[in-house]
Each structure stands twice: as structure tokens, then as C-alpha cells.
A and B are shown apart, each in its own frame.
Chain A
Amino acid sequence: MNSSPDRAPPTVEVSGRGPTAQQGEATGRGADARSELGRVGIAVAVPLLTCAVQWSLWEFIQPYVWFLFSPAVYVCAYLGGLRGGLIATSISAFLVWYVFMPPQFSLQVQSPSSLFSVAVFIVMGALFGIASDRLAKARRQSAEALAVAEKRTREAEVANLRVQEEVAARVRAEKDAERKAAELIERQVHSREIERWSRLYAALSQINQVIVRVTSQTELVREVARATVEFGGFKLAWIGRHDDRTREVAPLACAGEPREFVYSFRHSSGEDDRHDCACGPAIRNDQACVINALTDAAEMGDWLSGMKSAGIQAAAVFPIRVRGVVWGVFGVYAEETGVFRDKETALLEQAAMDIGYAIENLENETLRRQAEDSLRTSEYRRALALDAAQAGTWQWELSTGRNLWSDELWPLYGLTPHACEPSYEAWRQTVRPDDRDAVERSLQEAVRREGEILLEWRVATSRDGERWLMSRGRPLRDSTGRLTHYIGVVIEITARKRSEQLLARNLDAMVRLQNLGMLFVQAEGLPAALGEVVDTAIAISGADFGNIQLLDPATGNLRIMAHRGLPQQWLDFWNSEGNGQGSCGAALAQGERVIVEDVVLSPMFRETPALGVQLQAGVRAVQSTPLVSRSAKVVGMFSTHFRLPQRPDRHVLQMLDLLARQAADLIEQAQAEGALRESEARLRFALETSQTGAWDLDLIDHTAHRSLGHDRVFGYSELLPSWTYERFLEHVLPEDRASVDAKFRTATATRSDWGFECRIRRADGVVRWIWAAGRHVLDANGEARRMAGIVQDITERKEAENALRESEHRFRQLNADLEQRVRERTVQLETVNRELEMFSYSVSHDLRAPLRHVQGFVGMLERELGTDLSERSRHLIKTISDSSHEMAVLIDDLLAFSRMGRQEFQETRVSLDHLVREARNSLHVTPSDRVIEWQIAPLPTVRGDPAMLRLALVNLLDNAVKYSRPRHPAKIEVGSAGMEQGRVVLFVRDNGVGFDLQYARKLFGVFQRLHNSSEFEGTGIGLANVHRIITRHGGRVWAESEPDQGATFYFTLVPAQTESSSHA
């Protein structure tokens, strides 16, 4: 069978259609006149022709004069009808008469028989003409009738088709109607769903409002339950507190029905508890327990039957977590089955999370308030203690050393009155040994100066814990001015000391609390966070090293805060003389990322000491990304470094951008935290050094006795001659005055304590916050004529509180912004990924087709030319074919490579033994003359993505087989070589041709090859894939080799055992 390429394919052209029947008819009618002329022509021509023929054959024919003319006339009559027949008959008769009848060429008649024969001929001709004319007419009529009939048939067929179409259209319309009805139903279902969602959203929004509004946990749970039932349209909602110890869940709040049932029922999270079917599992599994149809539940316990009888059909219980631990449950119950679908469940889970967060916040708030309250009450107690202190007096005669102690002094010293002789030594013995030296030194110093004695010490022996005493003594002189005596008082100051300690402890607790909150939100402290940033940057960019630097705003210098894998020498260089140079310096100066693909070639490093430092550390490429905060301020920089020259791809850079923003916010936030801590330190300092004043107000005339501290609080350096309540009110800012005064009047009217915070304008015009408290002092008659108290400047504390609130607010804002940005970036990245996927899909289809065409048409050409092909032509054709084949392999490899980059990473336990076996089996079939000695050691189980690791192993083994081709036998070894930073080191070794290590950096780059394809085929993508895969696993891959000495490829992976043991 012969076929040629230029032979037209026997296809049917879609648009080609022949002339129609109607067209044929029209042209038939137009030709009538022409055919008439033709008939006459034939009638004339045929007799003449016959005459000529008969004449030439006359010799044989004579004497039969009509021999040929009779058939001629019949033919003419048949073709030309009556008219043709007559014309032919007459012409024939004439011709016979004239030419053939004797006498020839004369019209004379020789015999009457001739005349008769002419007459018969003419009559026959006419008759024949008539007959044939009739015949033709009949034929024509029947043809016409046929045509009409055909036309009718066609019309009928067309009509039939039309009916069919109409029927089809009607069927379609009905189908449409059905579909619309179905859509309508679906829409109704959908609208019910939407209604349910909108109710749910309303409930969530209410819950959020509640969270913002409430100030106590009781209120929170009550309001949340109420909002869930009222706005969410649920039948019942309750919140219970789980007790870890008893495993019982106590309902705290409940809304809807059956409320009483919830309160009366015993809820528990115990394994054996079979009553409450949703609450227990929710707590035990720490995840939402959803039962969409209560009848489906396995067992109808009391709880279920109780719920069912109240009309409840579906239940969902969500664990509430506080600080990551299950705190209690949030139960929601509905009258309809199947209402808790994925979306509803997710929204309610969100609500449960919000509740947990709110509870945590409230607890923090309560702790803070308790700390503040105890601060206040202890201060107050101190004032009262001072007030109520039993003072003892003493007198000390210097010349004799004799002591006089009042009766009150003995118990203060912890001694039985008059149990011994009062003396300096007796006193000394009562001082706690730890304090003795310091007290004595201070005392001797006062006496040497002949000045006032002021001592504080702890009593040596006391049954009721630590007791502090304070003594103040004044020198007395005789008439000559010589110091003879000291007299003094001793008071107990234990309460004050305790209050001071409490103050310090409380403040410390507040700082810690704040830190704890911060740490909780950002997982760990800043150093850990920075280390985390470096780790993440390395993981993203597949780098070998990395570091993060913070900008010191004071000096403008970068300082390395955390690093991975860089030697000390390197760190020292960049922290000192290299500071501001290199890629980091450039990135800092430009405010944008700097990439150095190869430090050796970069003008930035050329002929600088930095180049040597980089090379010594093994750094060949680097990228530095500045950390730009929200306020467009550069807070620092992170860099990742590579052993091989390279440029991170666009995707990696996008991810690094995202990380940089996150890190910048994290750092800014951490720095904000630092500022906060500073302000807290200020607060403590302020409180410790603040001047507290004491006052004593006469309630009748409103005059007051005060300490100097009191007047200093109001901005006077010296004690004023007089002070009144009204004067105090004048200092209070007008907007606070009314409330302070009202509180005072209420306190005096009810004889209760007076306490307030307000703003005052000091004598020097400065506005400050003060806090004051007072208590009625009863006289001997039990009447309250005086009020005594203290006043304290609390401006610093107030400021610190405000700063705290502000930073908390900013912190929250920051988090929200961050989340928003992460969401946006995720969407962007997803779009980019989708586009990439579309691109590679197109590539895989569209790039392959032309190659197939090349192959196909070359193949056909080869077949066409057959055996005539010269050696050279054959070579040319083979080259075309080989080249297109190579390109196809290249495209396949590239696509696999790009797919690898986008593939989702699915980590699991992977047995390397198994994987190596699989990889070996899937290797390309090796020619039978290859002898390969495989040596595969037992390999560990690792964690990773099996599909990716398999590809990596196939690439490595494929390489080993390929490059050991010249060896007989080839030896390929797979094994493990110890550990490196918690990762197991694995290797694939061959005894092949190897390579020069100076080109090692090229090994793992895409399209990088160390051998030309005439030696060893390949596309240069295999090792790039290996690198990508191992890097995605967090490991590293490297090679060792020498030309002709074989090559060993090492890679590291996380062993599965350490993972599982760390979990255990």
C-alpha cells in the first residue's frame, strides 16, 4: 500500500455542500429553447449525414434506396419528436428522390412504385414522429409528477424535522423548568442556611461586645450564655467550669431551657461517665464534640433523655481553653437536627476561644487589681500602725552608762519588765545578731558627732516572727554645753517594713505578670524569637548560614543578635571593623534588600578584608533583608548565606519579605515591651522615693496639722503656717473637686473612711495625681472630731498605668494588623502559586506538541525516502530527532523540578531501607553488560515526605549508576555516616569518574553540568532537585570527590526515633 505525504487526507469539509435540487430545476427550464434548436439541427443533419454515408456505400447497398434513411428518420423522430420527424422525413424523401432514385440526380420519376415508396416513407415518418412525440410528452408528464411528489416528500420531511425540533425544545423547556424549581428549592435551603448564619454572626458579635464590656467572670459567662440563646436562636447554652481534680464540671451560667436540668445534672469528664454524652468527650479530647442528631447517639442515658424530652435534637460542646489548658466547656443545644455543620461549628469554636481569652484577661486584670488594692491597704495599715504605735522611752546617761527604760520599752525589746538591769549591753543583746554591727556603728557615729540617733533594727528574740524597731534619740547637754544624756523613743515599725516589702513584692509580681503576658503572646522571649527568625529565614531560603542584627538607634550600628553556623571570627569582624560594610551595610543604607550572588565576583567585596572573612567562613552568596517596621523605621536586618553562588528565587524573596515584616513587628513589639518595663521601674522608684505626707484634720473648723511631706506633695518646700480643708479643695482640679468633696461629706456623715484619687494643681503650677485616705479619730467621749490620714503623690504610677494600657492597646492593634497582613499575603501567594501552576500546565501541553510534530514529520519523511537515504541524510535526520528528544526530556525534568517546589510537604515516618529498594527498582534499565556491585547498609527510619525523598534517592542512585559506567565492575555504596546536629548523615558513594571539587559549587544548581552530554547524558536538574528536597527537609547536601576517584554525595535527615522519643 502506497501512501504519500502530499496525498490529501480524506476528510469531510464541514462547510462544503453541493448545489440544491431547486437550483437544478431552474437551470433545466432555461435550457428548453436550446434543446428545441438542437432537435431541428439533428433533424436536418442526420438525413444529410445518412445521405453521405449511403452515397459512399451505394455500391453495396443499391438498389435499396431507403436502406439507411428509414433508421435515420426513426432516430430523428425519437430525438426530435413530431417536428424533427417531419423535417427529417421531408429532407430524406427529397434526398432519396433526387440522389438515389433512378434516374439519379433528377427529380423525375421513373416508376409509380417509386412514387408510392416515397409516399409510404413520408407517411411512416410522420406517423413515427407523432408516436415519438406522444411518448416524449407522456415521459415528461410522468417526470414532472415524480418531481412534484419528491418535492412534497421533502417538504414533509422538513415539516417532520421541525416537529422534532419543537418537541426537543419543549423537552428542554420542561427540563429548564425542573432545573429552576430545583434551584428555587436549593435557594430556599440556602436562604435558611444564611438566616442561620446571620443569627450565628449576630450571636458572635454580641459575645464579642460582652467580652469587651464585662468586668467579671460571672457577668461574662452569664451574658455569653444569654447572647447565644437570644441572638443565635439556640434552645439552650451553658458554660461550665471543669475541675481537674474531681473531673466534675460545675455549670456557671445557663440560658434557655431546660435550665434547671443543666443545674441539677452531674456533669463530669471522667472516662466512665456515661451520662453527659458531649461534655465529657469535649474535655477529654480537648476538641469540639458535635452530635447533630441526638437519636443517633449510641446510648440514651439520663442526660440524653432529659434533653430529648425538652425538645433538643442537636448538641455541640466546645472546650474553653485558658492559657492553653482546658478550663471548662461551652455547650450549645438546638431544636433542629443537623444544624452544627462545619461552618457553624467553626464559628462557635471561635466563640469558645474568645471566651477563653476573655477569662484569661479578666484573671490577669483581677490579679493586677488585687496587687494594687493590697498596695493601698498596706499603706493604710502602715499609717494606722504608726498612729497606734506604743512608743517606749529611754534615757541614757553617757558618763555612767546607766539606762532608764519606760515600762512600754520592755515588751518592745521582748523582755519581761525589770527582769534585768537596763543597760547598753542589755539592749545590745536584744538586737538580732545580723543587725548588731550595723546598729552599733551607726549609734557610735551619732554619739561621736553628738548628733541625733536614728536606728532601725530587728529584735533578736521574738515568738511572733520578725519584728522591726525604730529608735530616735536626742542629745541633752548640761549648762556648760557638754553632752551628758541621750533621751529617746522606740517604736515598732514591723507593719511599715512589711508594707514596704509587700510593695516591692507586688511591683515585682506586676512586672512578672506583664512579662508573662508578653511571653505568652509571642511564645518566648526576644532572643528566642530572634533565633526563631533566623531559623525561619534559613529554612525559607535554603541557606547554609544566617544571622539577625538589630539596629542600635543611638549609634546607628547593626549588632548581631542571633546566628546559625557562623564562626566567632566572622561574628567579631562584622560586629567591629566590618560594621556598616558588606551586604548588610548596603541594605541598611538603601533601606531595601541586597543580594550578592557571588561574593568573589561582587564589586561590593572586591579587594576588601570582608571577602576573606566571607570565604573563610564558607560564604559564597548572601542576601540581606532589612527589617522595616510599621512606622517605616528600619529596626534591624537579617541575612542568609549560602556555600554556593546563587540567587534566591522570586518565591523565596516574597517569603523572606513576609518574614521580615513579621520580624520587624515582633521586634518593635518587643522593644515596646522594653520601654514598658522601664516605665515600670520608674514607677517603683517613684513609689519608693515618693513623699508621703500625714495630716490630721479638725472636723469642726477644718484646720489641719500636717507633716512637711504633706505640704511638699502640694508643691510647698516649707511647712505652711496654716492649712484647711478648703485650701486643699482649691488645689484639686475643678473637674475633680465635686466628687472629692462629695466623698468627704459622705465619709464624715457616715463616719466611714475617706479615700480617693484625684488630680491637683501644685503650688508650682504642675498638675499631679494624688491619693489620700483618712479615718475618723474618736476622742475620749467616743465622738469623732478629727480625721487623720495620709496623702501620696501617685502621678508616676498613674502614668505607668496609662502607658501600660496604651501599650496593651497598641500591642493588640499590632497583632490584628499582623494577622490581616498575613492573610493578605497568603492570598497573594496563593494567587501566584495558582498562576505558576497554570503556567506549568500550559507548558507541559504546549511545549511538547511541537516536538512531537518534529518527530512525527521527520519520521514520515524518513519513511517516504525509504532506502534511498544517503548516510549523510540519515545523520541529519537523526540529529533533528535526537535534538527534539533531548528537549522533551529537558521539559519533563524542568516541570518535575518546578512541581517539586510547589508540592505540599507531607511529613511522616519514612523507612530509608524500603525507599532505597524502591528507588533501585525504578532506575532506568541498565544494559546487561553493566556489572554493578551494590552495597547497601541497613538504613534508619527518618521523618520526611516519602514521595520527595524517593525522588531524591532515585536521582542520586541514577547519577551513581551513570557516572560509574566506565567501571567494571561499578561499585555503588549506600549507608549512613553518624550524626550531625541531631540529624543522621547518609551517603551514596560510587567508584565512577568523579569530578573536580573546585566545580562542586555548580553541582546543585539547575542546568549545571560537569560533564558534556556526549560523555554522559543528562539535563542538570537531578541534583538541583536533590538539593531542593533535602533543603526542604531542613537538611543539607554536599559532595566529596576527585576526578576519576569516584564521588560521594552526603545528605542529612531528621531520624524518626528522636522525634518519637521527644514526644514520649
Chain B
Amino acid sequence: MPDPTGHFVPIHRILLVEDSDRDAELALDALSDFSMAEQVLRVRDGAEALDYLHQRGCFAGRPSGNPAVVLLDLKMPKVDGIEVLRRVKGDPELKIIPVIVMTSSREDRDLLSSYQLGVNAYVVKPLHFKEFSSAVKQVGSFWGILNEAPPGTVPGRPLPSS
């Protein structure tokens, strides 16, 4: 799909909001199994995530359509995950986007405020590689493939037969 400037833009079905490059790499590694890695757009903090969702800032020209799911880290610089969640779920147009919190720790107050704000799922990143991989894969395949995304989501591509 060419954008107005003539560039090809891949279809981004998954918005990964993650400040740590290493965590991002681990997550993408896990998602590569279902060829979902190409469908992931990764941003580095809450401010960028909100820019992306609102199509503003450096995402002003991105093709319209919401991601099928937002994978959200909580502890991030600038705007943290809870704040992103608050703004997304407080916006009448964005609140239908499924948001999955993926964070390092299960703190009661995070859990409470996430659910109070309407998070769709809350996943604690497992410590062990295999568990982590499998958790990310499950989340990615469920929300990115199996789950019927709300209207207004960018359409998915047929999965490669491999």
C-alpha cells in the first residue's frame, strides 16, 4: 500500500510499546514464528504510542486504521503505560482497541489501576526464556490472529502458508 509520498508501508497490526531494546528484541524473536514480527510496529515510550494512535507528530501521515492490539509496557520514560491506558480507554474512538499490559512485575496497585482503566489483559513477563517466548507467542497469536479485531482495525494479510 503506497502512502502519498510513494513509499511502501507495511501493515502494522500489533503496536508494541516497549522502552527496552532487549525486551523488544526478545518479543519480536518470539513473534517471528508466526511471521507476525513484520506486522509489529514498535515505539519506545507512551508519548510515541499516543502519537501513533492519534496519527499525529511523526505519525501524522501514516495510513489510517487502528492496530489489532497494543502490547503495553508499564514502566517507561515520559508517558508511562498506565497513563497511555488511561488516555486510550478515555478516548471514545480509541477505547475499542484491545490493550494488553505486559510488564515485569505484578504489583497490586498496577493490577488494580490497569483493570480499573479497562485493560483487556494483564500479562506478567515470565523470567525464563521459554516461558517468556511462549507467553508472547500466545498473546500475539490470540490477539493478532485468532481474535476478531474491532471495526476500524487495519486489515490483516493472509498468513503465509509456511
Contact = CB atoms under 8 A, between A and B. Distances in A.
Contact of B104 (A15, A849, A857): A849
B10 A9 contact: no
B66 interface: no
A858 B58 contact: no
B162 interface: yes
Given A12-B10, A12-B41, A845-B74, A852 B104 contact: yes
B33 to A, nearest CB: 8
Contacts of A3: 29, 32
Interface string A1-13: 1010000011110
A226 to B, nearest CB: 48
A853 B43 contact: no
Interface stretch (B123-131, B140-148, B151-159): B123-131
B113 interface: no
A885 B130 CA distance: 13
A154 interface: yes
Interface stretch (A16-24, A115-123, A544-552): A16-24
Nearest to A863: B129
Nearest to B41: A12
A20 B5 contact: yes
Contacts of A94: none
B56 to A, nearest CB: 9
Contact of B105 (A1, A21, A844, A862): A844
With most chain A CB atoms within 10 A of its CB, the pick from B127, B130, B132 is B127
A885 B127 contact: yes
B132 to A, nearest CB: 6
B41 A851 contact: no
Given A12-B10, A14-B43, A17-B5, A859 B105 contact: no
A859 B75 contact: no
A560 interface: no
A601 interface: no
A848 B104 contact: yes
Contacts of B48: 14
Contact of A10 (B24, B37, B43, B59): B37
Given A9-B28, A855-B128, A859-B130, A21 B23 contact: no
Given A14-B43, A21-B6, A845-B74, A856 B58 contact: no
Contacts of B10: 10, 12
A852 B74 contact: no
Contacts of A853: 20, 22-23, 26
Contacts of B29: 3, 860
A36 interface: no
A855 B129 contact: yes
A9 B105 contact: no
A852 B107 contact: no
A11 B42 contact: yes
Interface string B36-72: 0110111100001000000000110000000000000
A881 B129 CA distance: 9
B88 to A, nearest CB: 17
Nearest to A5: B29
Given A3-B29, A10-B38, A11-B42, A848 B127 contact: yes
A859 B74 contact: no
Nearest to B106: A844
Interface in B80-136: 103-105, 107, 109, 125-130, 132-133
Interface residues on B, range: 35 or more
Given A18-B6, A860-B29, A852 B132 contact: yes
B156 to A, nearest CB: 16
A856 to B, nearest CB: 4
Contacts of A372: none
Among B25, B32, B104, B129, residue most surrounded by chain A Cβ atoms (within 10 Å): B129
Contact of A848 (B37, B105, B133): B105
A859 B128 contact: yes
A15 B23 contact: no
Interface in A137-165: 154, 157
A849 B125 CA distance: 9
Contacts of B25: 9
A851 B125 CA distance: 11
Contacts of A862: 129
Nearest to A12: B41
Given A844-B104, A885-B127, A852 B23 contact: yes
A858 B26 CA distance: 11
Contacts of A10: 10, 37-38
Contacts of A846: 75, 104
A856 B104 contact: no
A1020 to B, nearest CB: 20
A385 interface: no
A852 B125 contact: yes
A385 to B, nearest CB: 81
Interface string A994-1015: 0000000000000000000000
A749 B25 CA distance: 110
A845 B105 contact: yes
A573 interface: no
Nearest to A884: B127
A841 interface: yes
A860 B129 contact: yes
Contacts of B75: 842, 845-846
Nearest to B40: A11
A154 B21 CA distance: 37
B127 A852 contact: yes
A99 interface: no
A740 interface: no
A986 B27 CA distance: 49
Nearest to B6: A21
Nearest to B74: A845
Contact of B58 (A14, A848, A884): A14
A157 B4 contact: yes
Contact of B20 (A18, A20, A849): A849
A845 B73 CA distance: 11
Contacts of A758: none
A842 B104 CA distance: 11
Contact of A15 (B24, B41, B42, B58): B58
Contacts of A300: none
Contacts of A17: 5, 7
Nearest to A1: B162
A881 B9 CA distance: 39
B84 to A, nearest CB: 16
Contact of B129 (A14, A841, A856): A856
A12 B62 CA distance: 12
A15 B107 CA distance: 35
Nearest to B22: A853
Nearest to B58: A14
Contacts of B127: 848, 851-852, 855, 884-885, 888
Interface in A853-875: 853, 855-860, 862
Contact of A844 (B107, B125, B129): B107
A9 B104 contact: no
Contact of A857 (B22, B24, B59): B22
Contacts of B41: 11-12
Contacts of B22: 849, 853, 856-857
A677 to B, nearest CB: 54
A722 B109 CA distance: 93
20 contacts: A1-B33, A12-B9, A14-B43, A14-B58, A17-B7, A21-B6, A157-B4, A841-B109, A845-B74, A845-B75, A845-B104, A848-B104, A849-B22, A851-B127, A852-B132, A853-B26, A856-B129, A856-B132, A859-B129, A860-B29
Which 10 interchain pairs have the tightest Cβ spacing?
Answer: A859-B129, A844-B105, A856-B26, A848-B104, A853-B22, A845-B75, A845-B104, A856-B129, A10-B38, A9-B28
Given A18-B7, A853-B20, 19 more contacts: A3-B29, A9-B24, A9-B28, A12-B9, A12-B41, A14-B43, A17-B5, A20-B5, A154-B4, A841-B107, A844-B105, A849-B23, A849-B104, A851-B127, A852-B132, A853-B23, A855-B128, A858-B129, A859-B128
